[in-house]
Amino acid sequence: MRWEDLDSEACSVARTLSVVGDRWTLLVLRECFLGRRRFEEFEASLGIARHVLADRLKKLTEAGVLSRIAYQERPRREEYRLTDKGRALNPVLMTLAQWGDTYMAGPEGPPLLRVHNACGHVMQGVLVCSECGEAVGARDITPKPGPGAARPSS
């Protein structure tokens, strides 16, 4: 299977990965959530090859996850900012970070904490059911075909 074909799979995970499932893309997005916006900032903080970075930024922009916005004319310079669609990926980054906090941190503890602005505490994100509000684990849910299941090779 080719990587670009993933977006036509009848699976939202696969479709999402067709956009962000690349080696570097999620790290670029991590930098975005930390406030990074400029090409050179991404390069310096990630150590990514420049042409790979250029390619990822282009693809993320085409996908509507980032937008290029000029921050000065003459010489024209553009920076990359998260769109709403991009900010909607925050839960993915948070859950990735929390798994790393739990399973990949050294004895000192996690490298980065998250403070909830509203309540002021260091927090963890907890995934709860939108309907009943209870926390949900892997075994608490049952998958069921949805309306978009088995699209007839559209």
Burial of 14 (0-12, 13-18, 19+ CB in 10 A): middle
In the range 11-30, which residues lie near a second copy by CB under 8 A? Answer: 11-19, 21-23, 26-27, 30
SS3 69: strand
Q: Which two tokens stand for residue 104?
A: 């990949």
- Which of residues 73 and 103 has its CB atom nearest to a second copy in the complex? 103
In the range 39-58, which residues lie near a second copy by CB under 8 A? Answer: 46-48
Residue 55: name its binding partner from a second copy, DNA, none (Cβ under 5 to 8 Å by kind): DNA
Distance between CA 150 and CA 154 in Å, rounded? 10
Confirm or reject binding of residue 79 to a second copy (CB under 8 A). no
Question: In the complex, which residues of this chain contact DNA (CB under 7 A)?
Answer: 1-3, 22-24, 38-40, 47-52, 54-55, 57, 73-79
Q: What is the smallest separation between the CB atom of 76 and a second copy, expressed in angstroms? A: 28
Confirm or reject binding of residue 125 to a second copy (CB under 8 A). yes
Confirm or reject binding of residue 153 to a second copy (CB under 8 A). no
Q: What is the smallest separation between the CB atom of 81 and a second copy, expressed in angstroms? A: 12
Confirm or reject binding of residue 59 to a second copy (CB under 8 A). no
- Which residues are 66's β-sheet partners? 82
Helix pair angle (25-33, 50-62), 10° resolution: 80
Distance between CA 104 and CA 132 in Å, rounded? 32
| Closest CA relative to residue 150, chosen from 9, 53, 5, 54 | 9
Confirm or reject binding of residue 100 to a second copy (CB under 8 A). yes
